[in-house]
Structure 1
Amino acid sequence: MKHSIKTLGISTLILLALACMDKNSKQQVDLAITNAQVIHLETGTVETQDIFISNGKIQAILDVGTENTFEPDTLMDATGKFVLPGFWDNHIHLRGGDSLVANNKNFLKLFITNGITTVRDAGGDLTPSVIQWKNQIASEDLVGPTIYISGPKIDGPNATWAGSLEVETEEDVKNALDSLQELQVDFVKLYDSQISGGNYLNAIKETQIRGMTVSGHMPFTVTLKETVEAGMDAMEHLYYIMKGCASNELEVTEKLKSGKMGFWDAMPALMQAYSDSTAQKTFTMLKDHDVFVVPTLHIGKTLSYLDEVDHSNDPYLTYMGQGIIQTYQGRITRAMSASEEVRKDRKELDTFFGQLAQSLNKAGVKLLAGSDSGAFNSYTYPGISLHKELEAMVQNGIPPLDALRTSAYNGAQFLDRSNNYGSVSKGNVSDLVILDDNPLEDIRNTQHIYMVVKGTQVFSKTQLQELLDSAIMD
């Protein structure tokens, strides 16, 4: 009996030791999302997989049924749900002066409730506030998307937008870029309202010397070829691409230089002179120089039809506040007072841009989904407008997978962040959106959000609704 007791004791100790070893061999993780239909944007495949997350990063992504040693603190069964990277809105504006700081800060909630975990702020006059929000979001002291900033825009004297860095000389250009580097901006934004062609091209070349990323508009006093060859990384909007696709671009450029033609006068002339052979050469040039293009189709349609569409009952007006709504009036007044010919031209241009975006995508030019939402851009609401942009792309013939890529996947590539963002991959930041339905079957399903994961923060459908309700402004 004594011998058997001793044996039992030794056996128990061995079992306990093995149990401890098994427990110690388990890797603790914060969250496991299991049985998810993961949409891999890089390949277009959809795989049923388990995602393991810890410390704000994806620790592993495994096929369902694969043995693993992970021990999650929280387990989420995503059966029937679709997972893809959190959306990126690659063109927004946080701006409007001190009186609209609170309104702009409120926008941050709208991005998260729409599954947008990253935004690219393409210039404004609230830089100190935006930098503060950017840092607070990074430390998770404020709910909002990761913000990549350009700081103030670079333009010429008497610039259209408040807060712009106005340049008249080559030295001014260098000083402006010095100040942006001191602000540690993520990219440079060039605007075209007053800048000379020479200073514009010099600014692009100088950013390349300094290793800075640059995007922007383009003064019509230069050609698209000159802009691309100077080193432009992304073209914001399609006006400038259209110019480079027209057989009369050089003629129009000379008329702009001499003052014989204005920007809007050039639109019908360029659209009518669109040449497929010229366009194909332009598309090849854009691809060869790895230039991204931001179509901003949704805002184009919204502004083109201000004279026909009544937005007074738009649900998102409740989140804007009267200060933002008042900034909409300028564009509304111009649209309503425009001649019939101008209204007709604007609508034809909108249709043309949809076709141009489809042609760019078909040719393999990388597109970026951007809403251009913010103050002054009438009825183009932060958050929901990114989904409307994806929808507009698909309506114009861009396949849903390609449209989805224009958000997080291409956005991460453009800002050289693909090592951390843009795909559901091991080692990437755990910015994810979980959808109730498959967006590859219907792009409108991007709006059917079940859950958002932003780093270490997890927002359930209920919490997202609560966040949206808290964004209502008087």
Structure 2
Amino acid sequence: MKLQKYILPILAYFILTSCNTIALESYDIVIQNGQIIDLVTGKITNQDLYIRDGKIAKIESSGGEGRFKADKIIDASATYILPGFWDNHTHFRGGDSLISENKNLLPLFLANGITTVRDAGGDLTSSVMQWKKEIAAGSLDGPTIYTSGPKIDGPDGTWAGSLEVVTDEDITKALDSLESLQTDFVKLYDSRISGEAYLKTLKETDKRGLITSGHMPFTVTLKETVDAGIDAVEHLYYIMKGCSAVETEVTQMLKNKEIGFWEAMPLLMEGYQTSTAQNTFSLLKNKNVYVVPTLHIGKNLSYLDEVNHKDDPYLKYMGKGIIKSYKGRIKGALNASEKARKDRKELDRFFGTLTKSLNDAGVKLLAGSDSGAYNSYTYPGISLHKELQAMVQIGMTPLEALRTSAYNGAHYLKKDKAYGTIALGKQADLVLLDANPLEDIKNTQRINTVIQSSKIYNKEQLTTMLKSLIK
């Protein structure tokens, strides 16, 4: 009886402690006391995030006494947490001699809180596909890459590696090739492609259920392009064309080869008509077509004749080959006529107003930097933050600008079930900021920590990463 008196309490103790051990949940990362920003509503809530296997497994209000085990606990007090930024228009390109220089740019994105990029066409497809695999496997530091692979254009297109299409057979072969490569979307370019081949390509991609983006040959109208099924329009030249009351006449002049692309610009801008523009905005909105304004690079290139970039802080991260590739646009800007320079700057100002009008009309925008070789002084990483600032400068709210990055980017590529917001089951791609970006959009650069799935990059690691890239 005396033995039984001691055994029963001991058994009860072991049963209770065993149950507690079994109930203890395990996580890879727990982020406590963070200010979570809802990109839909703009609401900020104090919450704890629990991450397991690279995904958000639980979200709770901060201050609870839940018991758990975690490999890493991050005290996010006084930080603001967003989905990792998306740069929705970048380029990896320049030929075999620039493969290593392009690869060296990958950490620049992470150091700027960018966990995903959309590569809008280049000539390094095999390398980009390999980087994608290595990044996904965790063996290479860099953002998740969604790529179009080579662009589709006409014969002797401007960019090396483009797929040339003229006939229906060419279109079939090009799309078969891209599907075989398992690219994430189809990018069309306008340097040599005919209007007929362009529209046929769009219609065929639509039949196949492929996502598209692109420029637009000026020998077709914007409505024809939208009706053919384009999903995103890169840059504002083509939107402006669809907002002009003289689009039909200018299109015919281009078909007759009476004028060229740049000669058409002032005619279209002068012909801008509010009623035409509103009809175009409604068409874009109703057809769910996204627009990529690329305001920052537009200003960069418009003022190459005035601004000396030799002391740019990010120039030191660029390889010699990439810097050399900048010379073409610089030479073009310096050799341009006075009228051409004036027209370019006027166009830049007009595009700011057009972007605000698009946003006010409910057209979905995508923040993209257009960074990469040949695009002079538009640096990977930091240029996305400059793009967000440009959006706010023309009158968008910080919340509206922030939505154009991860939120709209995920929806455009149909990845919104896994990305774009901080929610249960979504990928744990996060950026922790030391200040509130809703109060000042420049605070997107106040990066404290970047989390990509289960990998953590703290401020010290990000600084070290940048220093290692200095050329």
TM-score band by shorter chain is over 0.9
- 2:462 aligned residue: 464
Per the TM alignment, residue 315 of structure 1 is displaced from its structure 2 partner at its CA by 1.3
Which sections of structure 1, spanning at least 5 residues, go unmatched? none
SS in structure 2 of the partner of residue 151 of structure 1: coil
Per the TM alignment, residue 69 of structure 1 is displaced from its structure 2 partner at its CA by 4.7
Q: Are 1:24 and 2:54 matched, yes or no?
A: no
- Give the AA of the match of 1:342: A
- Give the AA of the match of 1:83: I
SS in structure 2 of the partner of residue 189 of structure 1: strand
User: CA offsets, 1:109-148, max 9 Å, x none?
Assistant: 1001000000000000000000000011011111100000
For 2:449 and 2:152, the matched residues in 1 are separated by 38
Q: 2:33 touches 2:63 (CA, 8 Å); kept in 1?
A: no
Given candidates 194, 203, 206, the residue that maps to 1:205 is: 203
Q: Are 1:187 and 2:216 matched, yes or no?
A: no
- Give the AA of the match of 1:441: E
SS in structure 2 of the partner of residue 450 of structure 1: strand
- 2:105 aligned residue: 107
Q: Are 1:371 and 2:369 matched, yes or no?
A: yes
User: CA offsets, 1:186-218, max 9 Å, x none?
Assistant: 000000000000000000000011110000000
For 1:263 and 1:290, the matched residues in 2 are separated by 27
For 2:67 and 2:417, the matched residues in 1 are separated by 25
- 1:60 aligned residue: 58
Q: Are 1:147 and 2:145 matched, yes or no?
A: yes
For 2:86 and 2:382, the matched residues in 1 are separated by 12
SS in structure 1 of the partner of residue 297 of structure 2: helix
- Give the AA of the match of 2:89: H
Q: How does 1:404-423 map to 2 (within 5 A)?
A: 404-423=402-421
Per the TM alignment, residue 321 of structure 1 is displaced from its structure 2 partner at its CA by 1.2
- 2:360 aligned residue: 362
Q: Are 1:98 and 2:134 matched, yes or no?
A: no
For 1:118 and 1:218, the matched residues in 2 are separated by 26
User: CA offsets, 1:362-420, max 9 Å, x none?
Assistant: 11100000000000000000000000000000001011001000000000000000010
Q: How does 1:17-416 map to 2 (within 5 A)?
A: 17-66=15-64, 68-416=66-414
Q: 2:29 touches 2:454 (CA, 8 Å); kept in 1?
A: no
SS in structure 1 of the partner of residue 415 of structure 2: coil
- 1:454 aligned residue: 452
Per the TM alignment, residue 462 of structure 1 is displaced from its structure 2 partner at its CA by 0.3
Q: 2:155 touches 2:193 (CA, 8 Å); kept in 1?
A: yes
Q: 2:222 touches 2:241 (CA, 8 Å); kept in 1?
A: yes
Q: Are 1:434 and 2:432 matched, yes or no?
A: yes
SS in structure 2 of the partner of residue 89 of structure 1: strand
SS in structure 2 of the partner of residue 243 of structure 1: helix
- Give the AA of the match of 1:167: V
For 1:93 and 1:313, the matched residues in 2 are separated by 23
SS in structure 1 of the partner of residue 105 of structure 2: helix
User: CA offsets, 1:326-372, max 9 Å, x none?
Assistant: 00000000101111111111011001001111111111100000000
Identity of aligned residues (%): 61
SS in structure 2 of the partner of residue 393 of structure 1: helix
Per the TM alignment, residue 70 of structure 1 is displaced from its structure 2 partner at its CA by 3.3
- Give the AA of the match of 1:25: A
- Give the AA of the match of 2:454: T
User: CA offsets, 1:28-73, max 9 Å, x none?
Assistant: 0011101100001122111100000011000011111345453222
Which has the higher mean CA deviation after the structures are superposed, 13-22 or 142-151?
A: 13-22
For 2:426 and 2:64, the matched residues in 1 are separated by 21
Alignment RMSD: 0.9
SS in structure 1 of the partner of residue 155 of structure 2: coil
Per the TM alignment, residue 7 of structure 1 is displaced from its structure 2 partner at its CA by 2.3
For 2:423 and 2:342, the matched residues in 1 are separated by 47
User: CA offsets, 1:410-462, max 9 Å, x none?
Assistant: 00000000010000111001000000000000000000000000011000100
For 1:388 and 1:438, the matched residues in 2 are separated by 17
- Give the AA of the match of 2:176: D
- Give the AA of the match of 2:423: S
For 2:63 and 2:446, the matched residues in 1 are separated by 27
For 2:63 and 2:110, the matched residues in 1 are separated by 32
- Give the AA of the match of 1:305: Y
- Give the AA of the match of 1:424: I
SS in structure 1 of the partner of residue 70 of structure 2: strand
TM-score, structure 1 normalization:
0.98
SS in structure 1 of the partner of residue 50 of structure 2: strand
Which has the higher mean CA deviation after the structures are superposed, 293-302 or 66-75?
A: 66-75
For 1:78 and 1:65, the matched residues in 2 are separated by 13
- Give the AA of the match of 1:309: V
Per the TM alignment, residue 8 of structure 1 is displaced from its structure 2 partner at its CA by 3.3
TM-score, structure 2 normalization:
0.99
Which has the higher mean CA deviation after the structures are superposed, 60-69 or 297-306?
A: 60-69
- Give the AA of the match of 1:270: L
Which has the higher mean CA deviation after the structures are superposed, 398-407 or 13-22?
A: 13-22
Per the TM alignment, residue 13 of structure 1 is displaced from its structure 2 partner at its CA by 2.0
Per the TM alignment, residue 27 of structure 1 is displaced from its structure 2 partner at its CA by 1.1
Per the TM alignment, residue 313 of structure 1 is displaced from its structure 2 partner at its CA by 0.9
For 2:68 and 2:228, the matched residues in 1 are separated by 50
- Give the AA of the match of 1:470: S
- Give the AA of the match of 1:311: H
